[in-house]
Structure 1
Amino acid sequence: MIRSLRGRLLLALLATLVLAAALMGGITYRSVLSETEALFDYQLRQMALSLRDQGEVAPGDAGALADEQLDFVIQIWRMDGRVVYASRPHPELPARAQLGFADIQAGGQTWRTFGVATPLRVIQVAQPRAVRRTLAADAALRSVAPLAVLAPLLALAVGWLAALTLAPLRRLAAELRGRDAQSLAPLPEGPDGAHARLPDELVPLVQSLNGLLWRLGQALDAQRAFVADAAHELRSPLTALKLQLQLLQRARDDASRDAAVAGLSDGVARSAWLVEQLLALARSEPGAPALAMAPLDLAEVAREALAAATPLAVARGCTLDLQAEARVPLQGNAAALSALVRNLVDNALRHGPAGGEVRVQVVPLAEGGAQLRVDDAGPGIPPEQRAVAFDRFWRRDPGATEGSGLGLAIVKSVADRHGAQVALGDSPLGGLRVTVTFPP
């Protein structure tokens, strides 16, 4: 199968050209044959009618009509049947004429005859059918011959036109091949001096490519920003680990050594948590592989997430309260939704007061879908700062050591990939309420 678009176009055009030439040639051939037959019949009739009023055939005319090179045979009879004249003897032809046009079998061949009667005589002019067919075929072939000469020229013209028509596509491909990996500028869609206007059929393709290049640029920019932010955020805990290690090396007694080990352990834990959050955010970014969606129970996902957060709640002396229906069906990815709930609960525990309460509610919606609400008793987020609260590495208190600044960013990314909406509000417990609404 031909994979080249130019080859397919050429094959289609040439096949159409050949079919059109064959059809036109066949129609012209049949038309010329028919017209030639009509012309020969007209000659037979005119010759017979021209002799009906003559008394006798003059000797000079008789000699001319008896020429062996003449295809016609002329016979004249009196009304009583006696032969008046015959251009040359043809015993195969019948001795009695048929009036009008007729096809007669005689001498192993077919003759075309025309007979006319006058009050005194009967005249018949005959011509072999084979001779007529040969002459008609020659005339028809001569009329078709120009098509055979023009067909190769038309084929060359079709090839040239196909190449000319596909030239903008070749230029577009050449421009794309000439770009490096860093060139994400949009392709030209109209005249800009160096580029001619694109054909209408290529405009949607170029627009789609430009959209893809824009999305790729956005993804690369986000990736570069993510890497830069991650490097910046990792610098502080790694520096703290380095300092703790130096303190451990300089410790002169067991008490100092134990304190340094405890600080180092805390620093490793914070670094591990930050790396884990970075990996979770990378997995939930728009450019990450598509999530495998399946039917699940959002209430059960919340229960498992709260069970995983229990050690932190115990360490801070907080109470975890889950209010959920027996089953809240939803279509989603269990691992991603578990990360969403765990980050919300973790934020509530870390930023809420020690000994406070964290309340999680999972309710089905009447119109379908579900809603997840997480309330805490912490300081909350002022309304004017809620728009930037989902930015990566954003903290209400930049100097705080608790948290990574990625929790709400992960929640927003997971929610977006599930088509859910995240809203921040005031909690009845006095802190922040995060509401995640999942569509049906």
Structure 2
Amino acid sequence: MKVPVTLRGRLFALLAGLGAVTAVAVAGATYVSVRAEADELFDYQLRQTALSLRDQGRIAGDEAAALADPSFDYVVQIWSLQGLELYSSRPQGMTEPLPARAVLGFSNLHLGGQDWRVFSAATPLRVVQVAQPLAVRQRLAAVAALRSIVPVAVALPLVAAAIWWLIGVSIAPLARVVRAAQAGDANAMNALPTEGLPGEVAPLVEAFNGLLGRLSTAFEAQRSFVADAAHELRTPLTALKLQLGLLRDAPPGPEQDAAIARLRGGIDRAVHLVEQLLALARAEPGAAAASQTLDLAEIARQAVADVQPLADKAGVALQLSAPRPLPLEGDLQALRSAVRNLVDNAVKYGAHAVQVEVLREASGAAVLRVDDDGPGIPPALRERAFDRFQRGDGHDAPGSGLGLAIVQAAARQQGARVSLDTAPAGGLRAEIRWPAPGREAATG
């Protein structure tokens, strides 16, 4: 099983790697710099020793003893101008003296199988040479350089530990978010904490909280819908059960025929309610919608044709104005259901005439408008008319109270807006408006 890389581990690896590279670079630069400074210091000591001996008339006994100490790394030799050796502190292992002919100032010599750094100074009577093995100089310089980088080596693990702790402190708010998400059950829709989150993560958590809020609203709407549907279905199912009992007990003849007619009517109402519930479920936000190019005028003609028998039976004049095709993108079943519900409601609640109109405005917006001359809906109650199972007061027309809810849900699913207004004839105007191409629809 592959272990996922944590954000803390990833940041620590990156920062630790960067710190290690930086420490190596700093240590290397320090090492080179200290060695160079040590070489300069050793050259300075060579020069000062030579100059101090040049200015002396003779070498005192104690000074000569110090120069002859085997542990003394320097070799001091004094020559006369005629090439005679006046003094030599030649250490053990040195097989031959420094050359009598010297280059004044600094020079490098290969003598006795090893390299030497030499400084020579002259006076009118003598030449003073002070030399030091390059190997000794390099060893001392390396030791000094290594000592200079010891603090860097000691500080590196301490800095790594501090980085690990600081990263942990920085991502602690993320850990709180994780614990809050893990603590919730399947029905928990509480917002996750956003206090102290980094600016790069806070928008993600806030967007997730927004999603949780929308899901909570949708779940609450679904629970309410299920409760309302169960309540609405209970009544017709109970009525069907009673009518079935009456049919069983009715003797053959007109009484039984009436019971059968009542049972058939109850079944039709139950079927209609179930169809309305399914149509509303298909039009709910988040339901799969097969978008395709449709002709709104043709959909309106089909809806008018479906409702025409009901209009003829009720004595309602049903007219359609759709002079030309009006193409738009949408879901065929949802739009058919929405348009038919609008026309069906207008016929049921309209007094004498219903006018259906399909047009495209100069702005490019597509509009489906249904006007009737019925009693309409008071402005104060129009917003509530879109609620599920909401029926108009004072009307005995059969219905489930889902028509306008289906229309509004289908309109939102198609990116359109539905509105209610007063028709020119004094009844109700129901209108679905699709925005012009390239414009965003307002929420209806």
Normalised by the length of structure 2, the TM-score is: 0.86
Do the aligned partners of residues 73 and 303 (structure 1) sit closer, same or farther apart at CA in structure 2, a change above 3 Å counting? farther
Match of 2:357 in 1: 361
| Corresponding letter in the other structure for 1:296 | L
**4+ residue runs of structure 1 moved beyond 6 angstroms?**
none
Change in 2 beyond 3 A, CA 1:318/1:401: closer
- State whether structure 2 residue 300 is matched by structure 1 residue 302: yes
1:155-174 alignment, distance < 5 Å: 155-174=160-179
Q: Deviations over 1:221-251 (max 9, x none)?
A: 2122211211221122212212221221122
Report whether the alignment pairs 1:18 with 2:14. no
CA–CA distance in structure 2, aligned partners of residues 338 and 198 of structure 1: 51
| Distance change in 2, residues 1:245/1:136 (3 Å) | same
**Residues 77 and 98, structure 2, Cα contact 8 Å, conserved in 1:** no
Residue type at the aligned position of 1:134: R
Per-residue deviation, 1:438: 1.1
Name structure 2 gaps, 5 residues minimum: 437-444
**1:3-45: per-residue Cα shift (whole Å, max 9, x none)?**
3122223223322332332233223222222221121111111
1:87 maps to what in 2? 89
1:305–1:49 Cα change, 3 Å: farther
Is 1:425 the equivalent of 2:421?
Answer: yes
Bigger CA drift: 61-70 or 248-257? 61-70
- Matched AA of 1:113: V
- Listed as ranges, the matches of 1:124-143 within 5 Å are 124-143=129-148
How many residue pairs align between the two structures?
Answer: 430
Q: Residue 389 of structure 2 aligns with which residue?
A: 393
Identity across matched positions, percent: 53
Where do 1:21-170 residues align within 5 Å? 21-88=23-90, 91=96, 93-170=98-175
Aligned-residue RMSD, C-alpha:
2.8
Checking the alignment, whether the CA contact within 8 Å between 2:283 and 2:406 is kept in structure 1 is yes
Q: Output the CA distance in 2 between the equivalents of 1:70 and 1:325.
A: 117
- Of 7, 10, 15, which aligns to 1:8? 10
**In structure 2, what is the Cα distance between the partners aligned to 1:74 and 1:212?**
88
Q: What TM-score do you get using the length of structure 1 for normalisation? A: 0.87
Cα distance in 2 for residues equivalent to 1:58 and 1:400:
136
Aligned to 2:440: none
- Whether the 8 Å contact between 2:372 and 2:423 is mirrored in structure 1 is yes
Report SS of the residue matched to 2:148. Answer: helix
Letter in 2 for 1:231: A
SS in 1 for 2:222: helix
Q: Which amino acid aligns with 2:210?
A: G
- Give the 3-state SS of the residue equivalent to 1:110 in structure 2: strand
After superposition, where does 1:340-419 map in structure 2 within 5 Å?
340-353=338-351, 356-397=352-393, 400-419=396-415
Which residue in 1 is equivalent to 2:237? 238
Shift in Å, 1:136: 0.9
Q: Partners of 1:365 and 1:129 in 2: how far apart?
A: 98
Query: What residue number does 1:176 align with?
Result: 181
Check the 8 A contact 2:282/2:288 in 1, yes or no.
no
Partner amino acid for 2:22? A
Task: Work out the CA distance in 2 between the residues paired with 1:359 and 1:92.
Answer: 127
1:2–1:249 distance in 2 versus 1, CA, 3 Å: closer
Q: Is 1:97–1:123's contact at 8 Å kept on the other side of the alignment? A: no
Partners of 1:79 and 1:92 in 2: how far apart?
16
Alpha-carbon deviation of 1:338? Answer: 2.2
Cα 1:107–1:432 change in 2 (3 A) is same
386-395 or 140-149: which moved more?
140-149
Secondary structure class of the residue paired with 2:386: coil
Residue aligned with 1:434, SS: strand
Q: Kindly provide the amino acid, as one letter, of the partner of residue 364 in structure 1.
A: R
Task: Say whether the 8 Å CA contact 2:350–2:374 is kept in structure 1.
Answer: yes
Letter in 2 for 1:326: R
CA contact (8 A) 1:419 1:438 kept: yes
The answer on whether the counterparts of 1:299 and 1:362 sit within 8 Å (CA) in structure 2 is yes
- Separation in 1, partners of 2:113, 2:267: 115
CA distance in 2, matches of 1:167, 1:378: 65
Q: Can you list the C-alpha shifts for 1:126-149, whole angstroms capped at 9, x where unaligned?
A: 222222111111111122223323
* Residues 1:94 and 1:180: Cα distance change in structure 2 (over 3 Å): same
State the shift of 1:113 in Å.
2.1
For residue 256 of structure 1, what is the aligned residue in structure 2? 255
Contact between 1:2 and 1:8, CA under 8 Å: does it hold in 2?
A: no
